[in-house]
């Protein structure tokens, strides 16, 4: 992990692990490739940390 990706993650600007991104019926979800946080796509090329991780089944990415 480079210093720039660390700073981007601190500023809530994440990058997904592309092969693990899934559609849950509402949004694209996955995990950050740098810090491993659970993230959600808010706009095209814009990924933010997911706020409500209530443990609902549809919100968890399925492993391939």
Q: What is the pLDDT along the chain (64 residues), one digit of tens a residue?
A: 677 888 999 999 999 999 999 999 999 999 999 999 999 999 999 999 998 666 555 555 555 5
Task: Fill in the DSSP letter of residue 61.
Answer: P
Structure tokens at 42: 């808010």
Count the domains in the chain: 1
**Assigned domain for 12 exists:** yes
- CA angle centred on 55, ends 40 and 12, rounded to 5°: 30
Structural domain range at position 18: 3-59
**Assigned domain for 48 exists:** yes
**Assigned domain for 64 exists:** no
Q: pTM, whole model, 2 decimals?
A: 0.74
Alpha helices in 11-63 (DSSP H): none
Phi, psi of 37, deg, nearest 5: -70, 150
């Amino acid at each position: 992990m480079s210093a720039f990706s660390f700073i981007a993650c601190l500023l809530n600007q994440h990058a997904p692990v592309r092969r693990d991104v899934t559609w849950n019926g509402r949004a694209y979800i996955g995990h950050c490739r740098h810090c491993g946080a659970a993230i959600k796509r808010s706009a095209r090329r814009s990924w933010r940390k997911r706020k409500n991780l209530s443990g609902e089944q549809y919100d968890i990415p399925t492993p391939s």
